[in-house]
Chain A
């Protein structure tokens, strides 16, 4: 594409095309968007985060990541659309403008680059990282079981051959540790949103225990508002709740770690659909999915801005 205006948001793209998009967006909006490299993957690919900032120093910030599970292609595709939307809306949409006038947004579009490349080249249904485990012929760790929050407890597998293998130790995956180090060094994140697919759920901590989070009632209320806003566009129905209550016990997840770091507004979105295409959502649904999800994201971001802590 010659620019992010002619970039095609209605098709799935590979890693090079997505990284090319990011460079174009930065070049088109040097005063708003910058690209940070927060680390390298197991296979030594750079891990990039887009920073949207209108100034200030270490402002309160919002973290959004997509594609931590590489086969969930509609999430990386939605992340591209979100990036473009932010640059379009700043200065035009009062809500987004108010957010960026006082906060920063960090967006990691391809959170598992090695796995993502593998889905394009070899196995479209690959979920995990591509790290090798000594003593096993099986490859990869589930990057959403590798965080230091209930790590290794029920809700993840110790078998390297399973899809939910938690890894030898917390943060063993460089894709995870890069985020941990970045978020910790920044120290001023107020919201952490990780985007997955599928099953149309909005989840909040905890997953590794049935005990409710200290802010359970507030998170439930905010989740309800967010799914209501999301449904207002196309009527896409979401359920919401804690990970444990809404689906199952899951240990070592990113939002449990973020919440335990003190980032109160931590959520996981599980995007379309409910069970027709699963991970193989047709590309024609990328933009509608991104548009409706954006309404949910904006609800959470606006609430965070007006409820800083």
Chain B
């Protein structure tokens, strides 16, 4: 199974169309392996982005450099996946 240790999900708040376009630019950078959980839409509507650990620094620098606000929605994706897996395994064991 693929693991997502260190992957974070960022909640990005693009304040205007220009900032939305900046985030759209990120989408084109395939080497970052970004996964939009909620894609760029109207300014003000949240954009949720899963960022692999190796790309985290670059993405955060990019957002901060363009004054685009973000929060960390999920600190480590693998932690949630492990909890989900444990729950399913416990059920099967029972």
Q: Do A and B come from one complex?
A: yes
Interface of A toward B, CB cutoff 8 Å: 8, 11-12, 121-125, 161-164, 198-199, 247-248, 274-280, 282-283
Using Cβ atoms and an 8 Å threshold, which residues of chain A touch B38? 198-199, 247, 275
Closest CB in chain A relative to B92 CB, distance in Å = 9
Q: Which residues 1-40 of B sit at the A interface, judged by CB distance below 8 A?
A: 1-2, 4, 9, 11, 27, 30, 35-40
Q: Is the CB of A248 within 8 A of B39?
A: yes
Q: Hey, which chain B residues are within 8 Å of A123, CB to CB?
A: 1-2
Bound CA span A275–B74, Å:
9
Q: Could you say which residues of chain B place their CB within 8 Å of the CB of A276?
A: 73
Separation of A163 and B38 alpha carbons in the complex (Å) = 11
Classify the interface of chain B: helix, strand, loop or mixed: mixed
Do B36 and A280 touch across chains, with their CB atoms under 8 A apart?
Answer: no
6 shortest interchain CB distances as A-B pairs: A248-B41, A280-B80, A11-B91, A123-B2, A247-B41, A278-B37
Which chain B residues have a beta carbon within 8 Å of chain A's beta carbons? 1-2, 4, 9, 11, 27, 30, 35-42, 45-46, 48, 50, 73-74, 77, 80-81, 83-84, 87-88, 91
CB distance A277 to B87 under 8 Å? no
Contact present for A11 and B2 (CB under 8 Å): no
Binding site secondary structure of chain A? loop
Sample (16) of A-B pairs whose CB atoms are under 8 Å apart:
A11-B91, A12-B87, A12-B88, A121-B1, A122-B1, A123-B2, A124-B81, A125-B35, A163-B36, A199-B38, A247-B38, A248-B40, A274-B46, A275-B73, A277-B80, A283-B84
> Whole-angstrom distance from the CB of A22 to the nearest CB of chain B?
19
Indicate if the CB atoms of A122 and B91 lie closer than 8 Å: no
A163 to chain B, nearest CB (A): 7
A143 vs B9: C-alpha distance in the bound complex, in angstroms?
Answer: 23
- Residues of chain B contacted by A161 (CB below 8 angstroms): 30
List of B residues within 8 angstroms of A122 by Cβ: 1-2
Asked whether, in the complex, the Cβ of A247 is within 8 Å of the Cβ of B46, the reply is: no
Instruction: Please indicate the chain B residues that have their CB under 8 angstroms from the CB of A247 in the complex.
Output: 38-39, 41-42, 45
